[in-house]
Each structure stands twice: as C-alpha cells, then as structure tokens.
A and B are shown apart, each in its own frame.
Chain A
Amino acid sequence: DVLMTQTPVSLPVSLGGQVSISCRSSQSLVHSDGNTYLHWYLQKPGQSPQLLIYRVSNRFSGVPDRFSGSGSGTDFTLKISRVEPEDLGVYYCLQSTHFPDTFGAGTKLELK
C-alpha cells in the first residue's frame, strides 16, 4: 500500500496568517493516464470531510482561493493564506492513484 506521510501533526496559526501542510507518498502518484490523483480535505469538528483540492492543484467548487495545492511525484503541499476561523479543523491528503486509496494521518490546524 502507498504510505502517505503528512506533516506536521499539529499546526498552530494566528488568524490572518499563512500555513503550509506537507504530504509525501511512498511512491510516485503519477497514474498511467498521466494524472496525479492527490487530493486534500478539511474535516471541521463534528462534520464529514469536505473536498478542497483535487488532482494536486484544482480547487473544488466553492473553495476560496486562499487554498492552493502544489507538488508532483511524491511531494505535495497545501497552502492556506489569510487563515479564517472556518479554516480550523483537521486536514487530510488522499491518494487515489493506486489501490487501495490511502489517507494521510491528518494535520490539525488550531489557533495559537
């Protein structure tokens, strides 16, 4: 199985600040069709996970442009600028290039 290593585990932030979350995979996430199926999710307290970014850098419908994704191969980053209160929660990366699909362990974004 592809191991997804997410860092940091916890990320204190001030409102209005900028943060980055890293996700590294144990093997390349480039699919034979040429796409890279690496996605990012936010799970707010008491809610289901919600898709933020799909295929590395594409914002899902309704996601503010404060969220951006980048990376390639095995190394990926989610950046959040101008952090707002509704951005707090746990962030997960997911790869769906190789079966089984695997999630990172999560990064908790919390107020300093």
Chain B
Amino acid sequence: EVQLVESGGGLVQPGRSLKLSCVASGFTFSNYGMNWIRQAPGKGLEWVAYISSGSSYIYYAETVKGRFTISRDNAKNTLYLQMTSLRSEDTALYYCARWRYFDYWGQGVMVTVSS
C-alpha cells in the first residue's frame, strides 16, 4: 500500500525557519518525482515545489522561490521542504504528492506562521 506521511509542521514566528519531511512507503520512491502542495485555510490547492526522481530537476512556485528548498534522500525514502524567511501567507496545510498524476497524497501537515 502506498503511503506518504508528512511531519515537521507547527507554529513558527514570521522570519523563522521550519523543515518538513515526507516519508514514503509502498512504492519505489527513487523512481518518482515528488511535489509539495499547500492549502491555506479555506482556500484552494497551490503547487509549491517539484523535484525529479534523481534530484536533477527542481522547480518552485514564484511565491516561495528563494525562500524554500526542496530536497530528497532516496536511501531514506524521504522528501523534504526547508522553509526559511516564513511569512504569514505561508500559513497552510502542506501536502506531499507523487508526480505526475498526483495519484497519492499524504494526510498533510499544518504550518502556522504567526507572532
């Protein structure tokens, strides 16, 4: 069974950093590109970042470029999102999902940026 489990969220002050993790199981993680998607409270889905299976290709949404860093460790079946210079508008539920069809999603992890 394919599973994606996010962790690392929480309450953080503006300007601080946070690192999210997504542990994958039930499939060959190293064969798939992965994404982070977020959903602000009561809002729609916003794609945040993509990383290819071997980390050769990385893309970011303009809203997070220069502040967020996506990475992965295929030996640990884990996807990461390092978030720096956090803003109130980054407050959202963050999901990881498998590319290209976004066929499997994690349960999401909440990030709240507030003083």
Contacts and interface: CB of A to CB of B under 8 A. Distances in A.
A48 interface: yes
Q: Could you say which interface size class chain B belongs to?
A: 10 to 19
Contact of B101 (A43, A54, A106): A54
A101 B35 contact: yes
Interface residues of A, number: 23
Interface string A37-73: 1010101000011110011000010000000000000
B56 to A, nearest CB: 14
Given A101-B35, A101-B50, A106-B44, A94 B102 contact: yes
B107 interface: yes
Contact of B47 (A37, A41, A51, A103): A103
Interface of B: 35, 44-47, 50, 59, 61, 95, 99-108
